[in-house]
């Protein structure tokens, strides 16, 4: 974000910051791919659960000082692999509940996303964003807990307000409305709370201005956004790289970009994954560590295989 404090360097420098693919639709389909060797090793985190908990506590202290209202802290982990991870990456992309599920590859790198979250969409004369904040296990009890949690709702509303402000700063847009608030939807084995924020396009809307206004997404930064980015840069030991960015489609009359949460990157030697959550004054460090692990679990399961690899 313009004016934001740079964070730690990306652990996957081989992946470019911007990558565009021009698609030409054809009716031809090649034969199915043949099975190939693939094996995954043990995951190595960039911080321990204790260090993650310390970062959560540090955000709580920053909130107590009045530096931020909320900040999102994200952990990174990587694992060595052998062979071709393409099939495993497609398993990630196929996780249920992924609004943006797909695999993108370049020379020496690949990424897979199973993101449920819309960073920004332009459709039928409106700009739309769908922030997600608030997570529980996808059980009947988990759904009841999420709907009843004052902490989760307060955290969620803060991000909705942030997204409203991001859109309201853009010339060419009309009144910003919250079309849906705290709707509970399922991703893999988790319930998540989602809202829909939108505004009509009434004048000229520049794509670069739109991306500057919404990137990075408020649900993965915090509020105020610039102050939250400073906390993130101070606390996170590994960069977010392709995670927490955007992937999607740009057409002549349509834009649809998903926030690259639930995303895996491959660099030819290791797989990289990120998970975290938003921290408020009421956050419990141990619970936040557990929530990040719950978000990472379906991704790791999709990537797993039977043959071990030495770390």
| Catalytically annotated residues | 117, 133
- Contact (CB, 8 A) for 181 and 195: yes
- ω before 100 within 30° of 0 (cis)? no
DSSP letters, 223-255, are ESHHHHHHHHHHH-SS--TTTTSEEEEE-SS-E
- Contact (CB, 8 A) for 15 and 111: yes
Q: β-strands 177-187, 190-200: how paired? A: antiparallel
Alpha carbon separation from 151 to 84, 156, 158, 186 (Å, rounded): 43, 9, 11, 20
Residue with tokens 């004054």: 281
- Rounded to a whole number, what is the largest CA-CA distance in the chain? 61
């Amino acid at each position: 974000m313009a004016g934001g404090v740079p964070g730690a360097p990306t652990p996957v420098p081989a992946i470019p910051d911007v990558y565009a693919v021009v698609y030409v639709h054809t009716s031809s389909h090649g034969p199915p791919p043949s099975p190939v060797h693939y094996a995954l090793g043990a995951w190595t985190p960039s911080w321990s659960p204790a260090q993650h908990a310390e970062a959560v506590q540090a955000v709580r202290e920053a909130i107590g000082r009045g530096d931020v209202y909320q900040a999102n802290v994200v952990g990174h982990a990587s694992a060595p692999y052998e062979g071709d991870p393409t099939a495993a990456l497609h398993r990630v992309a196929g996780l249920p509940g992924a609004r943006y599920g797909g695999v993108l590859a370049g020379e020496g790198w690949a990424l897979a996303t199973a993101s449920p979250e819309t960073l920004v969409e332009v459709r039928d004369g409106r700009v739309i964003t769908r922030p997600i904040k608030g997570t529980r296990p996808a059980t009947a009890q988990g759904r009841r807990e999420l709907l009843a949690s004052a902490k989760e709702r307060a955290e969620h509303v803060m991000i909705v307000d942030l997204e409203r402000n991001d859109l309201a700063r853009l010339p060419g847009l009309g009144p910003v409305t919250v079309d849906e608030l705290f709707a509970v939807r399922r991703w893999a084995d988790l319930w998540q709370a989602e809202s829909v924020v939108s505004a009509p396009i009434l004048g000229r809307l520049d794509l670069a201005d739109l991306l500057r206004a919404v990137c990075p997404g408020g649900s993965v930064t915090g509020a105020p956004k610039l102050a939250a980015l400073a906390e993130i840069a101070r606390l996170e030991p590994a960069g977010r790289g392709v995670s927490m960015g955007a992937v999607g489609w740009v057409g002549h009359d349509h834009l649809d970009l998903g926030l690259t949460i639930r995303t895996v990157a491959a660099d030819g030697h290791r797989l990289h994954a990120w998970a975290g959550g938003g921290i408020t004054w009421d956050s419990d460090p141990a619970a936040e560590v557990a929530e990040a692990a719950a978000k990472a679990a379906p991704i790791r399961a999709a990537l797993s295989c039977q043959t071990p690899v030495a770390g």
